[in-house]
A and B are shown apart, each in its own frame.
Chain A
């Protein structure tokens, strides 16, 4: 089947918006990006199957029926996205409660080792024992 132009544009916009939100530091925005991206993927999957009458035996001639498989996959994906959204929200809330913000931070140990390397010092205990 030939893809509908509106679909294609919508999917493109959802992906683009999702990716640019993902690049943010704040976990809440990352979550928004994830939701947009997830919806983009769902539409993309929907595009992969044939549209048509409800696929119930006897309801319509077989050749006019929609392909039910993508719809089932989207349903599964929606459930998973919902669960993940709840988890990420909890994570963001916990981060805010513990640290006062919900920013995704650089790794502390990475930064420490990079500082040591800049000063040309070893990372172990060799030097000070």
Chain B
């Protein structure tokens, strides 16, 4: 069944080509994108089922065997990320179709939206499946270039200003990543991750530390880890709601995924643990304090996004199996919930005419469905039981306590504090935007009507977020198994290179 592995990359790319050809026909474009992404979701689900039962699936692209050619590797972690990201992209696509119809710009100027969105998806899936450092770089570039276009969609002054910051910062991180790749190749003579896992161990310690530091720096910018995070709240909120939602859900998590691979496969042994844990603590606290200060819902959510990246780093930094399993569970939870919240923010903007807190009020009475669509994921984010955010945080805190170090305890305290402050931040949104008397500047009910195509995908993601609690047991088991596989580097190398090459290298 290895022929399934390249499909999550090729289907969206093919879809992108087709939608480009159909540039003048929005209906055909919509059908193609929706079909392509649904197919990607189905393939990803099949890959997850196959990898949990049968171990990693490996494809040598073009039939060139592993160390020479490029490999795509679908192990449990990659398959899990694929499923969640595909589910999120499908929902966001339906939402954006609904919004496009509601705002009346069905044809102009967004004929580039569908192809770019599909290319973005292909970049994300390629990054998850990459078994080769340079292919990972290409995956990053595909998704970044698509994201530049999506962020500056329409080319309004505000978006150009925000987009400039984003593009320059991303370019810098790409240059750092590429430099690291050049140095790694010079030092080891390979970029295949399985082969690197063996050869990097033989390098001098100081050189390894420099290479590891460069990779972490590049991925840290992508993942928005403090102090490399300030670009995110400046650039994300200006984009259209569905674009912000999919960026918030996926792009930073691709960075986190790359950090996980760096820390487990390429440079295990936890030499960066202390740095990672300190950065995790600072990311959590600085992020959430930023969120508390904001007066705009989208900006506030962007800051909570940064803040909760800290939890993921916490799990990765602990280097224990429980910590890693909890981090993987938390990634799944966070992708779903953060995307839902940004979609809900888009609905608020539609109904209330703005996302500025001082121009909103009384939304709970005006649109109860919208209130539910915001409140449930918001409580989920803050980690209120029985939602999945609580389970993920509990896992991380347990892992922290099991670690027992001073820094781990500090992080346990920090994560509880961050959780409380998240609750404060979203309670503030709730009080100001949903309670109070309706603000007179808000549009009339007819003008601010949310189309069903925007509400249904949002509610579907709310339901998915709640369902994560229901399937938390099996999901955590998958996370645990993936964490176990991540620590088994020899197993990874064996499944990618086969026994023959292991002896030769």
By a beta-carbon cutoff of 8 Å, the part of chain A in contact with chain B is 22, 27, 30, 34, 37-38, 41, 44-45, 47-49, 69-70, 73, 76-77, 80, 83-84, 87-88, 91, 94-95, 98-99, 104-105, 107, 109-110, 113, 117, 123-126, 128-129
Contacts and interface: CB of A to CB of B under 8 A. Distances in A.
Contact of B171 (A47, A84, A128, A129): A84
B183 A48 contact: yes
Interface in B172-210: 172, 174-175, 178-179, 181-183, 185-187, 191
Given A48-B186, A76-B134, A88-B167, 11 more contacts: A34-B171, A41-B182, A47-B186, A48-B183, A73-B185, A77-B178, A105-B161, A107-B162, A113-B293, A113-B295, A123-B293
A37 B294 CA distance: 36
Interface stretch (B73-81, B120-128, B152-160, B271-279): B152-160
A108 B34 CA distance: 37
A86 to B, nearest CB: 11
Nearest to A37: B175
B240 to A, nearest CB: 17
A95 B293 CA distance: 29
Interface in B137-160: 138, 141, 145, 148-149, 152, 155-157, 160
A91 B157 CA distance: 10
A123 B134 contact: no
B175 to A, nearest CB: 5
Contacts of B178: 41, 45, 77
B164 A91 contact: yes
A104 B160 CA distance: 10
A123 B294 CA distance: 6
The dominant DSSP class at the B interface is: helix
A128 B295 contact: no
A125 B441 CA distance: 14
B7 to A, nearest CB: 23
B107 interface: no
A80 B168 contact: no
Closest A-B pairs by Cβ, 5 of them: A48-B186, A125-B358, A45-B182, A123-B295, A107-B234
A87 B359 CA distance: 36
Contacts of B105: none
Interface in B279-305: 293-296, 299
10 contacts: A34-B168, A45-B182, A76-B134, A84-B145, A87-B149, A91-B152, A91-B163, A123-B294, A124-B358, A125-B359
Nearest to B359: A125
A49 B312 CA distance: 37
Nearest to A47: B186
B138, B178, B233: residue with the most chain A Cβ atoms closer than 10 Å: B178
B97 interface: no
Given A22-B172, A95-B160, A128 B234 contact: no
Contacts of A126: 432
Contacts of B161: 95, 99, 105
B353 to A, nearest CB: 15
Given A87-B167, A109-B299, A125-B432, A44 B179 contact: yes
Contacts of A88: 167, 171
Contact of B141 (A69, A80, A113): A80
A124 B295 contact: yes
A113 B175 contact: no
B357 interface: yes
Given A87-B167, A110-B234, A128 B181 contact: no
B428 interface: yes
A91 B167 contact: yes
B436 interface: yes
A109 B296 contact: yes
B182 A48 contact: yes
A88 B183 CA distance: 27
Contact of B432 (A37, A69, A124): A124
A95 to B, nearest CB: 5
B165 interface: yes
A41 B185 CA distance: 13
Contacts of B149: 87
Contact of A128 (B185, B187, B358): B358
B185 A104 contact: no
B234 A124 contact: no
Nearest to B157: A98
Contact of A124 (B145, B155, B357): B357
Contacts of A113: 293-295
